[in-house]
Structure 1
Amino acid sequence: MDELSRRKFLKQFAVLSAGTSAFIFTGCDIIIPEERSLYGPPPIETDPPDKIGNLYIQTLNLPELVLCDRYRRLRIIPGGETRYKVHVVRSIQAESELEIFMYWEIGKVDTPPTSSIFKKWLVNLPVEAIDDPNYIWIIDISTVKECGELIFSYFPHTERELPEIKVDVRLINLETEHIESVDGGRPKHLGLVFGEYTLEYTYWHEDLVNTGQRIVLGRITTEVVNDEEVPIWVVLDAENLKIERTLPNWES
């Protein structure tokens, strides 16, 4: 049995036996073993996130993933819903060709087959690693492999008195939805699968009286195109790999 078949078999066995406790009967006594069963999938040794990086991997309720750069393994990412920071080392000249694989769908993590790619993104990441990267690759459950880049910029009025107005961008497509905050003066780069996205902008500022609370000013859900007010939407595809949007100020 090859490595991939063994993993799939053990994974299926673990699902079937997950809710079953093991008992050993000796006469009238019941002995409950303290050690876990030897059956089931081996524990996955995921990699810890980097302290500084140039990319976040945002997973949306997915199992363990393998991040590669040109099919070279970089990290094994924990499952669940998490924002995982990683420093992808790159040169100034070359873009990063990133791939995501499902851990349980490949044989050897160091040599994943091209046929098993779950997501891929060609992106010009910053060379410098920082504490809070502004590049986020959002990995959803959709079967679409190819990803593009949606860039949001926001320039709040500098003459306004505090508190500063901030913006949350809500992205909605057929598979899922995601909310991302955009800081004033700092573009946010989102890696997203190809498809149509409806956008909604929520404007708010911090409550100066109640710490940790926010005051919502309102939302912008439409824009004017050819003298007609329509929902805000964008399409990422092979002809539109990178789209830039400047968020309007709330007063406008």
Structure 2
Amino acid sequence: MEKLKSLFISLFVLLTFNSCDYISDFVDPEPTFDVTEDAGNLVINNYSDHALVLYHNGEPYKKIPNSATDFIIWLPNDNDMTFDLQLYKYDDVAPNFPANPDLTKVYKRWNINLSDSKDIEKRATWHITNNEAEINSGNLKFSYVGGTDYQVDVFLNNQNGAKIITLKPGDQYDKIVGIDYGAYTLHFRYWISDPNTPEGLQIKGWVEKEVVAGQEVDIWAVINSNRPEKHLFIPHYDQVNAVPDRRGSIKIINQYPEPIAIRANGRDIEELMYLDGDTQAASMLAYGDAIEFVLDENIYTLEATSITAGGTLATAVIDLSVGENAEWTIKVVDGTVVSEVVDPEPVVEEEEEETPPAESETTN
């Protein structure tokens, strides 16, 4: 009897041990994630409600937990390259994390030229939303000049929306935020440090409007494939309570006998223009077209090319100021392409000195 009892116990232990091995073969291991770097050139804020995997050059680079806290990454870029960064949901590529996974499963994608520096001032931010309908990300670039004591937080869509960046006076040009293609209103909150308050800051106030064509409206940022980047100049709270209109216009008149295409600073001008509605193919002008392109204040190198034959027909440089209405005409005179630019500058009229009346001659 004792031998039979021992046999049953041995069989029970053996079966239990083997069944554990069997079960373990079908149970996914506990997910493991990378930890944030101490310094880097990219920070990811993950608001997606998913754990993510960052792919770079087709290979898994970082496994990112489901957390909106700053996740800092270092991607060396000594060759000044534009990276094609891809984020996949962790569950879509686990457990093997293959190279070059199926692009139809990519969750977010961003083409970005990252700085080859670990300086905080040059660090880009990628804001990851839970919008699964939009894959591509564009750039919001911020400039906040010095001369004030207030820092500023930028929020999306309302005062309680996602905070995408904090800027201190003097932050310019290198402050880039990657964000889903779409239309957003921006809200600027101004504050100074104050250790005596619960949040450690004293709020000065908000700026949520800008002036466009003489009207005060919401501050809009529209990012899409035609306009993948927008540069925003944030005003000082003490100086102005509305963001000034920083746009002018260039009317381009095509008197060349064939259709032409217009590029500005190396890009199709439709990618830079402001227009309600679809801007696709707006860079193409037929003979007789006179199209007004509303653009940000900037210096523009313009190029007109032939759609049929290719090659550059004419070039022009226009230093566009706020509120300025410049013109560029492309035409043919005696078989030669002629480029005419009207680039008016503010004219300050000088008061003419009055010529004193001539003294009458007296005849003795």
TM-score, scaled to structure 2: 0.53
> Which residue in the other structure is 1:242 paired with?
229
> Which residue in the other structure is 2:118 paired with?
129
Native 8 Å contact 2:48 2:128 kept in 1: no
Structure 1 counterpart of 2:98, one-letter code: D
CA distance in 1, matches of 2:220, 2:120: 31
> Which residue in the other structure is 1:24 paired with?
none
> Which residue in the other structure is 1:146 paired with?
136
Deviation at 1:81, TM superposition (A): 2.5
Instruction: Please point out which of 120, 138, 146 is paired with 1:156.
Output: 146
Q: Deviations over 1:209-246 (max 9, x none)?
A: 55863221111111110011101111000111111101
Q: Summarize the alignment of residues 11-26 of structure 1 with structure 2, pairs less than 5 Å apart.
A: none
Instruction: Please point out which of 89, 97, 106 is paired with 1:117.
Output: 106
Moved more, 73-82 or 96-105: 73-82
Q: Deviations over 1:120-143 (max 9, x none)?
A: 000010012246763110111112
> Which residue in the other structure is 1:204 paired with?
191
Q: Does 1:177 align with 2:168?
A: no
Structure 1 counterpart of 2:216, one-letter code: E
> Which residue in the other structure is 1:5 paired with?
none
Q: Does the residue aligned with 1:127 lie in a helix, a strand or coil?
A: coil
Q: Does the residue aligned with 1:80 lie in a helix, a strand or coil?
A: coil
Q: Deviations over 1:134-189 (max 9, x none)?
A: 3110111112100001011111325xxxxx2111111129xx93112112212421
Larger radius of gyration: 2
Structure 1 counterpart of 2:131, one-letter code: S
CA distance in 2, matches of 1:62, 1:227: 41
Moved more, 58-67 or 225-234: 58-67
TM-score, scaled to structure 1: 0.76
CA distance in 2, matches of 1:131, 1:200: 23
Structure 2 counterpart of 1:167, one-letter code: V
> Which residue in the other structure is 1:59 paired with?
46
CA distance in 2, matches of 1:212, 1:226: 38
The 3 A distance-change label for structure 1 pair 231 and 211 is: closer
Structure 1 counterpart of 2:152, one-letter code: V
Long gaps (5+) in structure 2: 1-22, 241-364
CA distance in 2, matches of 1:233, 1:46: 36
Deviation at 1:67, TM superposition (A): 0.3
Deviation at 1:85, TM superposition (A): 0.5
> Which residue in the other structure is 2:62 paired with?
75
Long gaps (5+) in structure 1: 1-36, 159-163
Among all aligned residue pairs of Structure 1 and Structure 2, give the percentage whose two residues are the same amino acid: 25
The 3 A distance-change label for structure 1 pair 53 and 216 is: same
Structure 2 counterpart of 1:47, one-letter code: D
Deviation at 1:80, TM superposition (A): 2.8
CA distance in 1, matches of 2:111, 2:152: 27
CA RMSD of aligned residues (A): 2.3
Structure 1 counterpart of 2:35, one-letter code: P
The 3 A distance-change label for structure 1 pair 200 and 58 is: same
The 3 A distance-change label for structure 1 pair 200 and 206 is: same
> Which residue in the other structure is 2:209 paired with?
222
Moved more, 201-210 or 93-102: 201-210
Native 8 Å contact 1:156 1:165 kept in 2: no
Q: Does the residue aligned with 1:115 lie in a helix, a strand or coil?
A: helix
Q: Does 1:102 align with 2:89?
A: yes
